[in-house]
Amino acid sequence: MSLVTVHGQRDSSADAVHPLPGLSPRQSLRTCEDALAEDGLHPLRATGIEVLQVSLGKLCNMTCTHCHVDAEPTRREIMTRETAEACLAALASTDIPVLDLTGGAPEMNPHFRWLVQEARRLDRHVIDRCNLTILRAPGYTDLPEFLAAHRVEIVASLPCYLEENVDAQRGNRAFNRSIEVLRQLNGHGSRLGDDRKATD
């Protein structure tokens, strides 16, 4: 509750409860704990962890206007091998079934392929949050084969279905390059949708 002052004096109306129309003061102050308890759900308890999401850094081949981590080609904050090993050790010591790799462009981290291989060796499902255009960049054009060989789920990022919007956010020809990569992935047997249960 905010404190309202008028000429240095505390305004007692700041202490008044102003319930929503149709609700009594008690109803308007119902806590989350009360609501959970009434439904037999308090206290909340975790039932497990299903996904370990790991950001491999802010290095990216694109500079998108909407990027929430400000990833771009000049960023140098990337996960070290030591930290990647710690993530794998944590994964190995649990029954977490999914490793979700994100970034930046996670593929640009020098330990990306190693992480994928090791997670698959642990029989974990791996997700690559991919901006698509990285798969056409020099040094990464073999990634579609690598991802297919390791049965990695690609969560493709395409901010809009309109070419002009994508190009405005991601740069000239980003839309067409993304569509070309999707066609290439389809050529490697990738399918749209979540087929995790069917392939693992």
pLDDT at 84: 96
> Is residue 105 situated within a structural domain?
yes
The CB density around residue 199, as the number of other CB atoms within 10 Å, is 10
User: Average pLDDT, stretch 169-190?
Assistant: 84
Counted domains in the chain: 2
Three-point CA angle 180, 185, 189, nearest 5°? 145
pLDDT at 51: 95
Q: 200 falls in which pLDDT band (50, 70, 90)?
A: very low
Mean pLDDT of 126-145: 91
Statement to judge: residues 111 and 27 lie in one domain: no
**In the chain, which residue ranges form alpha helices assigned H by DSSP?**
25-28, 32-38, 81-92, 112-121, 143-149, 163-170, 174-187, 196-199
**C-alpha to C-alpha distances, 155 to 6, 104, 132, nearest whole angstrom:** 55, 14, 9
Count of other CB atoms within 10 angstroms of residue 60: 24
Note whether residue 3 is domain-resident.
no
The residue range of the domain holding 38 is 18-47
Whether 154 and 178 map to the same domain: the answer is: yes
Q: Tell me, yes or no, whether 13 lies in a domain.
A: no
88 in the same domain as 32: no
147 and 164 together in one domain:
yes
CATH of the domain at 128: 3.20.20.70
When mean pLDDT is compared across 46-55, 96-105, 157-166, the lowest value belongs to 157-166
Measure the CA–CA gap between 29 and 94, rounded to whole angstroms: 40
Residue 108 forms part of a structural domain = yes
Q: Determine, yes or no, domain membership for 4.
A: no
Instruction: Note whether 74 and 124 are same-domain residues.
Output: yes
Do 142 and 194 belong together in one domain?
yes
Residue 61 lies in a domain: yes
155 in the same domain as 108: yes
Judge contact between 140 and 134, C-beta under 8 A: yes
43 and 55 fall within a common domain: no
Mark whether 23 and 69 lie in a shared domain: no
The mean pLDDT value for 52-59 works out to 90
- 186 and 132 in a common domain: yes
Residue 43 has pLDDT above 70, yes or no: yes
Give the strand pairing for 125-130 and 9-10: unpaired
For residue 9, tell me if it sits in a domain.
no
Q: So what's the pLDDT on residue 166?
A: 85
Task: Specify the pLDDT at position 9.
Answer: 41
Q: Burial letters for 75-85: b for 16+ Cβ neighbours within 10 Å, e otherwise? A: beebbeeeebe
Mean pLDDT of the chain: 81
Q: Tell me what pLDDT residue 185 has.
A: 85
25 found inside a domain: yes
Banded model confidence at residue 60, pLDDT cuts 50, 70, 90 = confident
Query: Per-residue confidence at 82, pLDDT binned at 50, 70, 90?
Result: very high
Q: Is residue 161 scored above 80 in pLDDT?
A: yes
Q: Give the per-residue pLDDT at 28.
A: 61
Q: Give the model's pLDDT for residue 146.
A: 93
Is residue 30 located within the same domain as residue 67? no
Report which of residues 198 and 58 the model is more confident about.
Answer: 58
Is the same domain home to 116 and 164? yes
